[in-house]
Amino acid sequence: MCGIVAYLGQKEAYPILLGGLHRLEYRGYDSAGIALMQSSGITMYKKKGRVDELQKFCNNLDTSGSLGIAHTRWATHGEPSEQNAHPHVSEDGSMALIHNGIVENYIILKQQLVNQGVIFQSDTDTEVLVHLIKNVQDKEKVSLPEAVIIALRMVEGTYAIAIISKDDPNQLIVAKKGTPLLIGIGDNEYIIGSDGAPIVEYTKQVIYLEDGDVGVIRIDKPIQISNVNDSKNLHRSPYIQTLELNLEQLEKGGFDTYMLKEIYEQPKAVRDSMRGRINLEKDVVSLGGILEYEQKMLNARRFIIVACGTSWHAGLVAEHLFETLVRVPVEVEYASEFRYRNPVIYEDDVLIAISQSGETADTLAAVEIGKKRGATVIGICNVVGSTMARETMAGSYSHAGPEIGVACTKTFTAQITVLALMALSLAKKKGTISMSQYHKLINDLESAPDKIESVLHYEQQIQRIAQYVATKPNAMFLGRGVNFPIALEGALKLKEISYIHAEGYPAAEIKHGPIALIDTNMPVIVVAPEQHTYDKVVSNIQEIIARKGTIISIVTEGDSVIKKMSKFTIEVPKIDELLTPLVTTIPLQILAYHVALIRDCDVDKPRNLAKSVSVE
Ligand code: G6P
């Protein structure tokens, strides 16, 4: 959600903080702020809107100082405004704090502080933290690090925080619970980030804080880390790891937007997600990360897939892959619903959590439930070292590389690839797949990157379709079988980035209601490659045409039937039916992209959204 960056070192902090904010903006972008330790005390600049607004505002202002904290916000409590932007300061202005997460008991804490005469400036939950810490420090007459530990013991919820205080202008304090925080260790300098993006330019040596950790960072002393759950306040030696991230991966590489770059990176992302996992000589598919739990997966009574957003759509595709190939029942659940439903979970269930970021709060909560109830919990995520990677028993990375555009593209196709490999490997070992089908699917999977590449060549043609769709207030996406989730994903992409209202439906289902919406003004995008329900989809299209709906179709190369019924058609290469999502989803991504551009929307940072939703 929100992006956090902090700096302590010998250099000017401001350019480093600002650069970090730009890199973190995909996490939230409704307001931004910065606090710098200067000789006169803490100076703070905040602005509603993008980081660019803050930068413009700071031009010609005094931004000196080699210690500072900065934040880009995705509003939870309190509307986007200067007042609600972080940092938040203590009443006397001597302490400033930035926060990512949610203080769940903030109402009670706030009331207690108000009763003691504290005056709040914002509507945020975060402001409670700075007043609480200050209050503890003043009352208990303890050092700031001690006050932070005592205060955080009273806090329920999640936090990644960074604090500076005029009382000790050479000290930076950080803490985390339930949402990530990394300390980058440079040459006589420290760069703190809510992920690796603001750090990698300066160092690859990082400490991932654990839940409950409080870190005290100074130039003149080694970092001290203690944990709020440790009543003895003992310090532990930090474990330094290497950040698996490259700077080039965070740049646009000649593309106008991250989203377009990431759409075009899909052949590589899919290739990378298969790399080293298919051994043709030995005729095996093997996902190293799950080997230890493979027997549990082979004996699974049921697979429960939990995820949110686009990852949930990948889960729906996996339902087809696993049920068809592995012949074990699959349930696909919205993590946010699953976690509050008291679900029935058996010890021989395997719960597979899918997440690009590995930080989605609801998906992580579902992982915890799975573990508590004794299921085997497997993760599929993209961000190396993420909370999900650490909290699941085993898992596989999707290896798509960093995704910055808020709307998922390459991570979706990479997730499907990993899920297909997982299903194939289990199916072969269980003997639920014929060897000819197994070999055909491997062959087709290996051909997918080239096939995706060939669909990318249709961008101009799709641009023309976008001209048409961009003039409409609504759109309907239809698909069947393994392409129903692709219809959902197509609709999600369009609404996320172009703000056109769109719905995805199983094609046969529209006669039970949505057909009432069909008229000349409703574009109906039908995902209809060669598949066993093709003829049924043809009938569904007839029903729409009879009601004067306009058909835009995604079909297999050489199609003659549906093409004739469509106003526009995009042809995708032939691939095994189970793998068609890998190619049919591409034109829908490009379509949403161009509709959004025509409508002058910010495709990389769509309104109200954030890339990683670390609050529930
Ligand atoms: C947010 C993003 C979506 C994403 C969803 C799940 O809503 O905007 O694009 O699909 O979170 O994220 P995850 O990181 O768990 O895949």
pLDDT bin (cut points 50, 70, 90) of residue 230 is confident
> For residue 173, what is the domain's CATH number?
3.60.20.10
pLDDT at site 594: 98
pLDDT at site 615: 78
pLDDT at site 572: 98
- Same structural domain for residues 307 and 389? yes
Say if ligand 1 is within 6 A of residue 398 CB.
no
Query: Which residue CA neighbors atom 15 of ligand 1 most closely?
Result: 355
Last residue of a domain, one of 394, 427, 452: 452
CB distance 108 to 114 below 8 Å: no
CB distance 117 to 180 below 8 Å: no
Last residue of a domain, one of 211, 231, 249: 249
- Same structural domain for residues 208 and 343? no
- Same structural domain for residues 461 and 603? yes
Query: Which residue CA neighbors atom 4 of ligand 1 most closely?
Result: 309
CA of 22 to the centre of ligand 1 (A): 20
Last residue of a domain, one of 452, 481, 512: 452
> For residue 352, what is the domain's CATH number?
3.40.50.10490
* Total number of domains constituting the chain: 3
- Same structural domain for residues 245 and 255? no
Q: Find the mean pLDDT for residues 572-578.
A: 98
Query: Which residue CA neighbors atom 2 of ligand 1 most closely?
Result: 611
Mean pLDDT of the chain: 95
pLDDT at site 311: 98
Query: Which residue CA neighbors atom 3 of ligand 1 most closely?
Result: 309
Chain centroid to Cα 135, Å, comes to 36
pLDDT tens, position by position, 258-275: 999 999 999 999 999 999
- Same structural domain for residues 297 and 446? yes
Give phi and psi for 425, each to the nearest 5: -65, -40
Mutate to test the pocket of ligand 1, among 74, 306, 360, 415 (most ligand atoms within 8 A of CB): 360
CA of 408 to the centre of ligand 1 (A): 7
- Same structural domain for residues 446 and 465? no
pLDDT bin (cut points 50, 70, 90) of residue 614 is confident
pLDDT tens, position by position, 81-137: 999 999 999 999 999 999 999 999 999 999 999 999 999 999 999 999 999 999 999
DSSP state string for 411-425: HHHHHHHHHHHHHHH
pLDDT at site 26: 84
Domain that holds residue 276: 251-452
Judged against a pLDDT cut of 80, whether residue 231 lies above it is answered with no
- Same structural domain for residues 189 and 284? no
Judged against a pLDDT cut of 90, whether residue 76 lies above it is answered with no
Helix H or strand E segment including 313 = helix 309-325
Percentage of residues of the chain with pLDDT beyond 70: 100
CA of 508 to the centre of ligand 1 (A): 28
pLDDT tens, position by position, 323-359: 999 999 999 999 999 999 999 999 999 999 999 999 9
Q: Find the mean pLDDT for residues 138-155.
A: 96
Judged against a pLDDT cut of 90, whether residue 563 lies above it is answered with yes
CA of 614 to the centre of ligand 1 (A): 10
Tell me if residue 299 falls in helix, strand or coil. coil
pLDDT at site 385: 85
The catalytic site residues sit at: 2, 611
Q: Which atom of ligand 1 is nearest to the CA of 406?
A: 8
Judged against a pLDDT cut of 80, whether residue 559 lies above it is answered with yes
pLDDT at site 443: 96
CA of 379 to the centre of ligand 1 (A): 15
pLDDT bin (cut points 50, 70, 90) of residue 246 is confident
Say if ligand 1 is within 6 A of residue 357 CB.
yes
- Same structural domain for residues 16 and 145? yes
Q: Find the mean pLDDT for residues 544-565.
A: 95
Judged against a pLDDT cut of 80, whether residue 232 lies above it is answered with no
Give phi and psi for 431, each to the nearest 5: 75, 25
pLDDT at site 86: 97
Tell me if residue 456 falls in helix, strand or coil. helix
d(CA 564, CA 545): 12
| Percent composition of the chain: helix, strand, coil (DSSP 3-state, to 5) | 40, 25, 35
pLDDT tens, position by position, 197-219: 999 999 999 999 999 999 999 99
- Same structural domain for residues 372 and 478? no
Question: What is the residue whose two structure tokens read 């990378």?
Answer: 272
CA end-to-end span of the chain: 11
pLDDT tens, position by position, 424-449: 999 999 999 999 999 999 999 999 99
pLDDT bin (cut points 50, 70, 90) of residue 238 is confident
- Same structural domain for residues 255 and 245? no
- Same structural domain for residues 402 and 364? yes
Say if ligand 1 is within 6 A of residue 308 CB.
yes
Cβ neighbours for 494, distance < 8 A, ≥ 6 positions apart: 469, 475, 477, 500, 502, 588, 591, 592, 595
Structure-model confidence comparison of residues 282 and 63, the more confident one: 63
Say if ligand 1 is within 6 A of residue 306 CB.
no
Say if ligand 1 is within 6 A of residue 311 CB.
yes
- Same structural domain for residues 436 and 399? yes
Question: What is the residue whose two structure tokens read 């609480």?
Answer: 132
Judged against a pLDDT cut of 80, whether residue 616 lies above it is answered with no
Q: Find the mean pLDDT for residues 412-421.
A: 98
